[in-house]
Structure 1
């Protein structure tokens, strides 16, 4: 997985009833765009360092948002 600052990180729910989480990547830890990423979550406004798993994907900021 590779990303750029400003891309969206989408974490799909892995358990029934859990919401998907969407955040904006605010900082890269590696110049090649590989994880981990610092992400500002849209639902809380908080930032955290994320090591995304298989439930995650990156969307460019100009890409249409994919519904769940």
Structure 2
């Protein structure tokens, strides 16, 4: 999984009733675009994320398109 600054991280809820979370990747700390990522979620919360299999990265070109 590789990302760039400005891409969106979409984490699907993995428990019944748990909402999906979405946020903007504001920093890539891994080599060659790999995790971990510093993400600012839509609620304003910022955290370091190691995405799991329930996460999808949407490139900034896809989001703008």
Same fold, judged at TM 0.5 (above):
yes
Partner of 1:32: 32
Q: TM-score scaled to structure 2, two decimals?
A: 0.90
Q: Which runs of 5+ in 1 are unaligned?
A: none
Structure showing the higher helix proportion among its residues:
2
Q: Structure 1 residues 55-64 or 11-20, which shifts more? A: 55-64
Equivalent-residue separation in structure 2 for 1:62 and 1:48 (angstroms): 23
Deviation track 1:12-66 (CA, whole Å, cap 9, x = no partner) reads 0101110000010000102400000000001x211100011000010012315xx
Q: Which runs of 5+ in 2 are unaligned?
A: none
Equivalent-residue separation in structure 1 for 2:45 and 2:15 (angstroms): 22
